[in-house]
Amino acid sequence: MSKSIRIGTAAGIPVFLHWTFLLIPAYIILSGLATGSPVFGMIADLTFVTAIFACVVLHELGHALAARRFGVRTRDIILMPIGGVARLEKMPKHPREELIVAIAGPAVNVIIASVLLAITVPLIGVDGLMTPTSLGTSLVGKVIAVNLAMIVFNMLPAFPLDGGRVLRALLSLGMGHLRATRIAAKVGQTMAVLLGVAGLFVLYNPMLIFIAGFVFLGAAQEAEAAETEASLEDLHVGDMMITRFDAIPAQASAVWALRFAMSANKHELPVVSSGQFEGIVRIEDLAAAVAEEQPEISVGQLCHRQLKLVRSNETVPVAAEHLQASQFASLPVVDAFGHLEGLVTRDAILAARRFGSLLVTLPPSPLRERPDELRQHLTRMQIV
Ligand SMILES: [Zn+2]
């Protein structure tokens, strides 16, 4: 996030401000100075921008906290001039959960607008908000209007807006994820074209044209992601797992394994004993053992054993889900006898996403080498 500034943490989630966001206050101050408008006018405008910005953070927090209820973490929240993004680690697959997560953002704006209306209307009436007599009431009126606009805009049934996700989730309940995504993407792109035409020929609004382009591309991306995800359903772990890798024999010493890991540029290594999978050892664990003057302790005593394993006949999305939940960078693939057959890594999944359809038709990897062969090789070299 080099182009973003971390401005704080909300509910344990880091909040970043994209640098382009700073163009807004810069514009207010510079145009204020250029036109010689009064200082309190500029302060009112800056307060308004800050209030909108707070509403956007709360909107994104709505998504993030709803996702948290379903066990999905949020990496961060990024605020940009055209809106915010809560970057969820994944979108809940279950339609009902996706529906709740998508609707939670606009629901926050409904709450903000309702609370502000409930406070101000009894005091000054609707007319007082429509034709404000003070900077304060004008500010509250504008904040309410922006929240109402955020609800309407976000609920447009077009990816990647919240409304698009709501539509997809509702359709998914009846027809499955892929078909629902295809239809929702088509609806979104049609909406984008209509928005673009309206911006270009009716409202003469360049911002609307920009948003239409953003929505059009977002919908295409979402449809493509769903197609790839669906094609992965047919691909098995055995078709894409890494079969050329180094494993450390369980009886190897910590100091030897540390040297080996560094020379092979590995941060973690699977540990085997006669081909039997034992666990995964991290370079930090090895370094800690050496630092604590236990260089001869065996890797078998240091490795992590409580791990999720997969079989080669499992589908790729299942493995991807296990890997996502794992604290390790690789997921071991073992056979019925507990022998380590391969590894699934993020890179391997990315490759499967790109070349998945090709991989299904390929003959099995000719490059399989059992890790115990590596051990024998290392023994021959007399380095264990
Ligand atoms: Zn949203």
Separation of CA 89 and ligand 1 centre (Å): 15
pLDDT grade for 384, boundaries at 50, 70 and 90: very low
Whether 381 has a pLDDT exceeding 70, the answer reads no
Structural domain harbouring 113: 4-232
Q: Measured in angstroms, how far is the CA atom of residue 350 from the centroid of ligand 1? A: 27
User: Where is average pLDDT lowest: 5-9, 79-83, 152-156, 372-376?
Assistant: 372-376
pLDDT-based confidence at 1, cuts 50/70/90? very low
242 lies in the same domain as 373: yes
Other beta carbons less than 10 A from residue 57's beta carbon: 21
Asked whether the predicted pLDDT for residue 142 surpasses 80, the reply is yes
Q: Residue 227 is which amino acid? A: E
Task: Write the pLDDT tens digit of every residue in 189-244.
Answer: 888 888 888 888 887 877 778 888 888 888 888 787 777 777 787 788 888 888 88
60 is catalytic: yes
Answer yes or no: do 305 and 199 share one domain: no
Distance of CA 106 from the midpoint of ligand 1 (Å): 6
Whether 331 and 198 share a structural domain: no
Residue-averaged pLDDT of the chain: 83
Task: Point out the domain boundary residue: 232, 262, 292.
Answer: 232
State which of 232, 263, 286 marks the end of a domain. Answer: 232
- State the distance from the centre of ligand 1 to the C-alpha of 348, rounded, in angstroms: 32
Per residue in 63-88, pLDDT (tens digit) is 999 989 988 888 888 887 777 888 88
Please give the C-alpha separations between residue 148 and each of 52, 130, 139, 199, in angstroms, as whole numbers.
12, 14, 14, 20
161 C-alpha to center of ligand 1: Å? 7
Total number of domains constituting the chain? 2
Q: Are residues 186 and 66 in the same domain?
A: yes
Residue 366's pLDDT is 52
Is there a single domain that holds both residue 200 and residue 276?
no
- The residue among 232, 262, 295 that closes a domain is 232
pLDDT in tens, 205-218: 777 788 888 888 88
Question: Residue 376 above 60 pLDDT?
Answer: no
What is the pLDDT at residue 114?
92
Non-local CB neighbours of 58 within 8 Å, separated by 6+ positions: 108, 112
Mean pLDDT of all residues in 96-102: 91
Quick check: pTM over 0.85? no
Q: Report the alpha-carbon distance of residue 6 to residue 25 in Å, rounded.
A: 17
Rounded to whole angstroms, the Cα distance separating 11 from 294 reads: 41
Active-site option among 60, 97, 98, 222: 60
**AA identity, residue 48:** F
Residue 297 CB coordination number (10 Å): 17
pLDDT band at residue 2 using 50, 70 and 90 as cut-offs: low
- For residue 291, what pLDDT band results from cuts at 50, 70 and 90? very high
Shared domain check, 330 and 278 = yes
**53: pLDDT confidence band, cut at 50, 70 and 90?**
confident
**What's the CATH code of the domain at 247?**
3.10.580.10
* Same domain for 274 and 176: no
Same domain, 120 and 243: no
Alpha helices in 298-370 (DSSP H): 299-302, 316-325, 346-361
192 and 53 in a common domain: yes
Q: Are 200 and 246 contained in the same domain? A: no
Q: How far apart are CA 204 and CA 178, in angstroms?
A: 36
Same domain for 200 and 242? no
Q: Are residues 313 and 243 in the same domain?
A: yes
